[in-house]
Structure 1
Amino acid sequence: MHLCLLPPEILLRILSIHEFDEPICSHATLTSLARTCRTLKEPALDTLWKNINGFEPLIGCLPERVTNTDIHGRLTLKRPLLNEECRHIGRYTQRISSLTVDFTHLDSIDDRVIQAFISAPSPTPLLPNLLSLDWSDDREYFFPLLRIFLGSTITTMRLGFTTSPPSFAKSALVASFGARCPSIRELHCEYGGDSEDSSYAICEALCGLRELFSLDIGVFSTRTLLRLASLSSLKSLHLNLGTYNINHTHSDCTPTSSSQLEQVYITTPSRPVLTHCLRNIRFLSCRSVNFCIDYGDPQQYDPMDFPDLIISFSECFPPTLEKLHFGFTSDVNNLIEEDLADPSFALGFDVFVPLLSFSHLKYLDLDWICTSAIDDTSLKTMAQSWPQLEIFLFGSEAGWLVPPSLTFIGLVHLIHHCPHLHKIEMPFSACPVDVNSAPFSNTNPNEKITRLFVGISPIVNPVAVACQLHKLMPKLDIVGFCNWDLIYLPESPPFAQFGVDWIRVNDFLQVLTTSAKMR
């Protein structure tokens, strides 16, 4: 072996190389290296034990005379561990920096294994160098086992406490993180407490995490929301408002400002809850916002809720906002055709006026918007207000059953006023326009855009449309569209057959782009 490869740091880097998200050295390869080459033994063991899933690797370190399998197929122990056996496990556990545990791992061990780990006669923690802990199980029976892994070295923690009701035991566990894991930088735990008092106790404990950079947690009330938003080191805040109680906050309270947060992600089961939260806080330095309304039943979707929400949003975030994503976890497009045909489901331009003040937007995702009430003039005003846009997703998911009011001219306005665009998803009626007249004639071609998604857009004269798209976006080589054959509905809408014409557009674009490259 060359001398340059002997330093442990270089060997560790080589053994840790990944290709296509898979390590180039399998567990079997690393095990062989550790057994056959003294030089590679320590680096191979470090790589092999760095990331561990479940408890089987730990139990596998023990002699066969100690371990067993019970009648249910679970791993068990024949007797308590001896001191020497604990020290033997420690030679490997000190290498573990990441531990992942889910319900399958916990169901594969019995009470004896749990008690042995909890009672291990060792002066140091079982995993003394653990940096990342991912525990995806919320059964309180296993909390004593979880606690032995909590230590001062942990910087990243992910807990899955979302499938069962709140409890005092869960609240007490989360409230202990401030003392047990003071070095946490990223905490992902959507659990927010079983009561207002428990929720606030959790917040107080988290205030002791001086290095906390990213927090994903449930919120019980506005008081806890404001307390969390005030954490001095926090830059990214993920809020789950599933247990949020509006009644715990007076409607006339003065909004509180948060000046350090840069990214805010909010998941909520209802629009009124989100609106209420936004009215009670100001994110003064936020650059990125991601809202997700989790409608359990698509029929709960009421577009009349959104004017107030957008007004509250425009007052809550600074004009320097760069990224805005607004979406739903359930498929709002499962609404029946009669619902979407109702004019109230198409939000008019006046609803979006409060968003025009965000002149620094680079990423805008309003894909759920039904665009039948937005015309070319409205889109022109929007494009003029957001000249820094790089990614624009607007209505391509919600426009399946209702034809858009936008035309090719609207697309031209968008490209004319937003020269930095490199991705567009938007339905429009694609009909040939006069390329020698404004706005087409005074619009500079955009060479950044290589893909365009049009959903299900009506089209006339595919050859002419392809030529005009090529003139407008010379590097565009394919147009994405919805293939109606892959979407299950009892009946296809009258404009579903346009997919054939968009295929013809792509065929002509391939010819045009190939010819341009040859020239």
Structure 2
Amino acid sequence: MPSLLSLPASVIVKTFSCLLPQKAILAKERGSPGLVALATTCQQLSELALDVLWRDLPSVIPLLLTMPPDLIATSTVQCKTVHGDREVQVLSFRRALVPADYACLMKYAVRVKSLDYYHVSKYPPHVRARATPDVWHTLQGLRPMAEFLPNLQKLTWVWTMNTVDEQEGPGPLALLASPKLQDVQMVYTSLAEDGTYLPLPASIGEACTDFLSRLSCNPQNVHTFKINFFGHAPPLRPNLSSLVTKTHSLTSFFCQDVPLTPEGFLRLTQCSSLQSFTTLIWTEDWTEDWKAVLQQLRAQPCFPVLRDLELLVNDIDLCISMIDLICSRELESLSLFLSGSQLVTGITKCFATLPKWSFAPQLRELALTLPPSSQPLWTIYAADLFPLFDLDLHHLSLWGFKVAISNELVRKMSEAWPNIITLKLSDCRYTKSPYKVTLPGLLPFVYNCPRLKELHLEVDATTLAFPHPIPEIRPGFGWEQRALCELHPGYGLISDPYFVAGYIADCFPMCWGVISSWPGSADLSGPDGTTGGTQGALWDTAWVYLRYFARVRAQERHGTVAAGLKVREPADPKVVLQYVEMLQSNPAEAARIASAHGLWAPRASVSERL
């Protein structure tokens, strides 16, 4: 039997890639002591096999288990989390650490290139295992002999403080500032038992400060840096800004919670490699510095190769001034999280200015978001959106607004954005909005938007709005829109889920989900006194029957072709769209169009059909 040493390198890599901890998601031995024993005791493993085996880790614990057995003590404790009580293994040292112990660990630590640490319940207990704070303090004391993970290139560190007696704190974060790091992504969350956010412990802020300070000493290899805090962010502004001022090849920067200093912001505006940028700009943080910063920005090109910009701002005029300075013509995605006063006039001004920016011809994704508040929703009217019709948008999201949607506006949007893929215009919370789209009002998306995959609109399905029979109005075989996967009717009302399911299946046969925003509670009222729970149940019924109607339609078409019959041809789409638009705004004109073409007779009432 040949030894592993005699196998080709490609076979070794393939074989041991299957043993990687994150590859075997359901394996009980994932990252287990048995796997560690295999790597440390098998004499037939080549260096290449060891490199593959230790290249990617979901935890630092397997490395600790490579140290002498007489050093490691393991205990099991009950941990109370928001997901219930769980058993967690805790590692500690039985005796003082000596250099020989550290050398055993470093034999394998030098092989680690990626650490994807998610402290969540999907990991088995031996991977969720923790170490006492004394373990990390001891290792930090020996670190001058060698960096803990000297060849680490990618770090993903997601930590949720979801217990009242959390003992490990930030864990080994301070040990992971490798000089070769290229990709850093960190997320910290502090949760109470009821799932609400709590202030982050002081130890988290101290560990992040130490990590950023160490990373700032060798930041030349960092390409991607993302950090996010769910809870009160620690005071990292100076450390974060110091890091970005020393980077040379940063391509992506993401931080929604900690604002940069003017110096840090200026450094990133001049970064010749920055392609994705997310930051918080609060006027209170730069009260005295803004004028000087804007003068410096106007004196030289800003964001020369930027492709994705996300700004969290509380001054819309300041936001527009910043975007005006972008010289990149490659910007494809713009996301704005807005707050503050004078939003109505500011947003209208923003829409009017957008087509004039140098990157407008290339812009494909636009998202505007207002944070939840107790104030009435701002209304965006059709006239406000008209300037956007000059853009070739693929993704549009307006969240936190009330959009004055109508069949007429839907038709104009479908004609202006034929390449639209995602359109999100539904209300973020329940309001008895007079603005809605009827079921036939969706037809412009069928004929004009073949790439549309996800649609969020307030859809009114209470009145079927078909005074004339549907066979000539629904798309003919081969005319369906086959890309749409999700339809979100928001808080739209519904009365006949079976008819709605059949009509959606006629228009969008590949749609797998109709997902309304109605909750299961009874405090929101629908038509005829029905509750929000009833409306949600009716939409769910339409969702269930949607797949059956789509199947029947496919069988109908197959049977027609198999029988040699002529496949039904639809009415002229231009006439249908004009008819649909008039159904809502001018019913008399809709009736005139129907009679003029002579294809449709009045639709029989329910009692007559019965």
Report TM bin, short chain. Answer: 0.7 to 0.9
2:99 counterpart of 1:95: no
2:416 counterpart of 1:423: no
The aligned runs of 1:334-483 (5 Å cut-off) are 335=374, 339=376, 345-359=378-392, 361-371=393-403, 373-395=404-426, 397-398=428-429, 401-430=432-461, 431-433=464-466, 434=468, 435=470, 444-459=479-494, 461-476=496-511, 478-483=513-518
Superposition deviation, residue 228 in structure 1: 0.5
Q: 1:64 to 1:195 in 2, by over 3 A?
A: closer
Q: 1:294 to 1:470 in 2, by over 3 A?
A: same
Superposition deviation, residue 59 in structure 1: 4.1
Q: Which amino acid is 1:153 matched to?
A: K
What fraction of aligned residue pairs are identical, expressed as a percent?
A: 17
CA deviations 1:288-341 (Å, max 9, x no partner) are 23334589xxxx99656532444455555422111223335x545xx48xx35x
Superposition deviation, residue 446 in structure 1: 0.9
- Identify the residue that residue 155 of structure 2 maps to in structure 1: 133
- Identify the residue that residue 330 of structure 2 maps to in structure 1: 285
Superposition deviation, residue 195 in structure 1: 10
Q: 1:443 to 1:353 in 2, by over 3 A?
A: farther
CA deviations 1:241-267 (Å, max 9, x no partner) are 368525421297465542311122334
Q: Is the 8 A contact 2:173 2:211 kept in 1?
A: no
Q: 1:116 to 1:500 in 2, by over 3 A?
A: closer
Superposition deviation, residue 90 in structure 1: 1.5
Which range moves more in the overlay, 492-501 or 256-265? 492-501
Highest CA radius of gyration, 1 or 2? Answer: 2
Superposition deviation, residue 193 in structure 1: 11
CA deviations 1:217-262 (Å, max 9, x no partner) are 4443566434313212222222233685254212974655423111
2:133 counterpart of 1:114: no
Distance in 1, matches of 2:138 and 2:24, equals 39
* Among 61, 65, 68, the residue aligned to 2:66: 61
Q: Which amino acid is 2:218 matched to?
A: R
Superposition deviation, residue 129 in structure 1: 1.8
Q: 1:506 to 1:155 in 2, by over 3 A?
A: closer
* Among 145, 158, 162, the residue aligned to 2:185: 158
Q: Which amino acid is 1:240 matched to?
A: L
CA deviations 1:37-59 (Å, max 9, x no partner) are 54458677556644446654444
Which TM-score applies when normalising by structure 1? 0.76
Secondary structure in 2 aligned to 1:127?
A: coil
Q: Is the 8 A contact 1:76 1:110 kept in 2?
A: no
Structure 1: runs of 5+ lacking an equivalent: none
Which range moves more in the overlay, 2-11 or 276-285? 2-11
Distance in 2, matches of 1:219 and 1:444, equals 51
- Identify the residue that residue 102 of structure 2 maps to in structure 1: 86
Q: Which amino acid is 1:502 matched to?
A: W
- Identify the residue that residue 31 of structure 2 maps to in structure 1: 27
Q: 1:42 to 1:358 in 2, by over 3 A?
A: same
Distance in 2, matches of 1:17 and 1:232, equals 37
Distance in 2, matches of 1:402 and 1:374, equals 10
Q: 1:60 to 1:24 in 2, by over 3 A?
A: closer
Distance in 1, matches of 2:268 and 2:483, equals 40
Superposition deviation, residue 81 in structure 1: 1.5
Q: 1:310 to 1:475 in 2, by over 3 A?
A: same
Q: Is the 8 A contact 1:221 1:249 kept in 2?
A: no
Distance in 2, matches of 1:353 and 1:382, equals 9
* Among 365, 389, 393, the residue aligned to 1:323: 365
- Identify the residue that residue 512 of structure 1 maps to in structure 2: 549
Structure 2: runs of 5+ lacking an equivalent: 78-89, 121-127, 160-168, 190-199, 559-610
Distance in 2, matches of 1:69 and 1:24, equals 19
Q: 1:110 to 1:201 in 2, by over 3 A?
A: closer
Superposition deviation, residue 173 in structure 1: 6.3
Q: Which amino acid is 1:232 matched to?
A: S
2:255 counterpart of 1:250: no
Which range moves more in the overlay, 466-475 or 346-355? 466-475
Secondary structure in 1 aligned to 2:260?
A: coil
Distance in 1, matches of 2:62 and 2:452, equals 50
CA deviations 1:405-458 (Å, max 9, x no partner) are 322343222333222212222222232335588897999421222442212222
Q: Is the 8 A contact 2:219 2:243 kept in 1?
A: no
Q: 1:68 to 1:268 in 2, by over 3 A?
A: farther
| Length, aligned pairs only | 494
2:246 counterpart of 1:214: no
- Identify the residue that residue 185 of structure 1 maps to in structure 2: 223
Q: Which amino acid is 2:465 matched to?
A: P
Q: Is the 8 A contact 1:175 1:205 kept in 2?
A: no
Distance in 2, matches of 1:405 and 1:310, equals 22
Superposition deviation, residue 388 in structure 1: 0.9
Distance in 2, matches of 1:516 and 1:132, equals 50
Distance in 1, matches of 2:275 and 2:451, equals 27
Distance in 1, matches of 2:156 and 2:544, equals 48
Superposition deviation, residue 481 in structure 1: 2.2
Distance in 1, matches of 2:486 and 2:118, equals 40
Q: 1:12 to 1:234 in 2, by over 3 A?
A: farther
Q: 1:204 to 1:164 in 2, by over 3 A?
A: farther
Superposition deviation, residue 475 in structure 1: 3.3
Q: 1:23 to 1:112 in 2, by over 3 A?
A: closer
Superposition deviation, residue 491 in structure 1: 4.0
Superposition deviation, residue 350 in structure 1: 2.2
- Identify the residue that residue 582 of structure 2 maps to in structure 1: none
Which TM-score applies when normalising by structure 2? 0.66
Distance in 1, matches of 2:242 and 2:544, equals 62
CA RMSD of aligned residues (A): 4.7
Q: Is the 8 A contact 1:168 1:194 kept in 2?
A: no
Q: Which amino acid is 2:329 matched to?
A: L
Secondary structure in 1 aligned to 2:493?
A: coil
Superposition deviation, residue 205 in structure 1: 0.8
Q: Which amino acid is 2:268 matched to?
A: L
Q: 1:219 to 1:439 in 2, by over 3 A?
A: farther
Secondary structure in 2 aligned to 1:119?
A: helix
